[in-house]
Structure 1
Amino acid sequence: MQTASFSGFIKAIFYMIAFYYIFKFLARLFLPLLVKKVVEKAGQNFQQQQQPYQNTTWNKTSNKDEIIIDTANSKNPRETKKVGDYVDYVEIE
């Protein structure tokens, strides 16, 4: 049976601190590259998903030669919502 020694404890603490600083150093080197790759991949996936919708919308609008003007909204001005009355408060001294 082995017993714990003070020198073994110090050695374990040293290895933990060394591992922490090595990991921190490597993370500063490689983490920005990894994040950049992930963001680029997500952008490519987004573009691939949106590509069919953009093509169909563009084809539909480019093939039509007629222009439709809706005059119903221009005759009736847009009403603003009335939320409530303005109340002016006066300070009492």
Structure 2
Amino acid sequence: METASFAGVIKTIFTIVLIYYALVFLMRLLAPVLVQQVVKKATQNFTQQREEQQQQYTQQQYKAPKQQKANPKATKQVGEYIEFEELD
């Protein structure tokens, strides 16, 4: 079984810290670009959905009204309506 040397441990810690700071530096450079792309895509999706809803709304507004049937069924008449008055 081999044991780790002090120099190897220091070298590994130094490499991890170096990679961490490199990633932080790259994220500071790339984060604004990535956020801008996300916002741009969200704006496009929002605009597309708004246009689709507007088209659906205008299509519903200008639909031709349904035509009435030529011979509607006669309603069944049960009887004559009589209005009663109260007497004191």
Q: Deviations over 1:26-83 (max 9, x none)?
A: 00000110011011001101111110222454674xxxxxxxxxxxxxxxxxxxxxxx
Separation of aligned partners in 1, 2:2 and 2:47: 61
Let me know the Cα RMSD of the aligned residues. Answer: 1.9
Separation of aligned partners in 2, 1:55 and 1:4: 70
5 Å-filtered alignment, 1:1-93, equals 1-57=1-57, 60=61
Separation of aligned partners in 1, 2:4 and 2:56: 72
Residues matched between the structures, number: 61
Q: Which runs of 4+ in 1 moved over 3 A?
A: 55-60
One-letter identity of the residue aligned with 1:31? A
Separation of aligned partners in 2, 1:40 and 1:2: 55
Larger Rg: 2
Separation of aligned partners in 2, 1:36 and 1:4: 46
Structure 1, unaligned runs of 5 or more: 61-93
Task: Name the SS of the counterpart of 2:4 in structure 1.
Answer: coil
* TM-score normalised by length of structure 1: 0.57
